[in-house]
């Protein structure tokens, strides 16, 4: 099979005829996931007492009397990404990334569900009244939250890189660059946060939202083609 054949095959995936109605609904769920996550999380970050996004990750919003809002955000958006994975499996069938992108997006969804179930530990002054600095020890649910978050980050990075390759094959240079840049943003944001750099939580949030937005935009794009 020649490179021209591969490009033509990849370009044809947007016209998949496999159950277009259900696939469109699944992809619509994926398109809605990132806007929902961002609006709910950012609104809380700007309004919750003692929360500072330059020091506190979005995950910590699951603590306190209003923590149920962020827990619900995790669970709902995780469910939407799992639905998106099913839609992308149909939309990308037979193309570059058609196997692994849906699998990785499903991991993102499962990771977010787990992150909502296993709540991060309070720390560094949040919720209000929590001592400054990090806790001396991590709870079991805090450890599981960290594992879930790590799996989600790696899945986001890999999914965006594979989508970048997918769009390179279809000669869509702009989308290829955008997806790869989103993957790099997660790597840099997470690395900066883990190193204790200034505003590390903010850089991590920006990177993760960029990668989530890559997936949501792809879901929205292929939904239009069905």
> Tokens at residue 10, please?
């990849």
Domain boundary assignment for the chain: 19-123+138-224
Distance, CA of 75 to CA of 96 (rounded, Å): 30
Cβ-based burial of 222 (10 A; exposed 0-12, middle 13-18, buried ≥19): buried
- Along the 226 residues of the chain, how does pLDDT read in single tens digits? 444 444 444 444 444 444 578 999 999 999 999 999 999 999 999 999 999 999 999 999 999 999 999 999 999 999 999 999 999 999 999 898 999 999 999 999 999 999 999 999 999 999 999 999 888 899 999 999 999 999 999 999 999 999 999 999 999 999 999 999 999 999 999 999 999 999 999 999 999 999 999 999 999 999 987 7
Contact in structure between 108 and 156 (CB atoms under 8 Å): yes
For the chain, how are helix, strand and coil distributed in percent, rounded to 5? 75, 0, 25
Among the residues of 48-172, which ranges form H helices? 67-91, 100-117, 140-169
Tokens 């992150």 label which residue? Answer: 115
Contacts of residue 98, defined as CB under 8 A and 6 or more positions apart, other chains included, come to: 13, 89, 92
């Amino acid at each position: 099979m020649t490179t021209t054949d591969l490009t033509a095959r990849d370009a044809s995936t947007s016209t998949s005829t496999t159950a277009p109605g259900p696939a469109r609904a699944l992809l619509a769920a994926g398109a809605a996931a990132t806007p929902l996550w961002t609006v709910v999380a950012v609104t809380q970050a700007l309004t919750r007492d003692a929360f500072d996004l330059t020091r506190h990750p979005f995950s910590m919003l699951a603590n306190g009397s209003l923590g149920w809002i962020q827990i619900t955000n995790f669970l709902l958006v995780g469910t939407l990404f799992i639905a998106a994975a099913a839609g992308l499996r149909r939309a990308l069938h037979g193309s570059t990334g058609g196997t692994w992108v849906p699998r990785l997006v499903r991991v993102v969804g499962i990771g977010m569900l787990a992150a909502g179930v296993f709540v991060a530990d309070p720390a560094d002054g949040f919720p209000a009244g929590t001592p400054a600095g990090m806790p001396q020890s991590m709870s079991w649910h805090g450890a599981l939250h960290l594992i879930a978050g790590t799996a989600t980050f790696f899945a986001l990075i890999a999914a965006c890189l594979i989508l970048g390759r997918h769009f390179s094959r279809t000669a869509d240079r702009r989308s290829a660059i955008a997806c790869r840049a989103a993957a790099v943003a997660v790597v840099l944001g997470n690395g900066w946060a883990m190193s204790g750099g200034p505003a590390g939580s903010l850089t991590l949030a920006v990177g993760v939202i960029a990668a989530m937005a890559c997936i949501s935009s792809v879901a929205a794009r292929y939904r239009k083609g069905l």
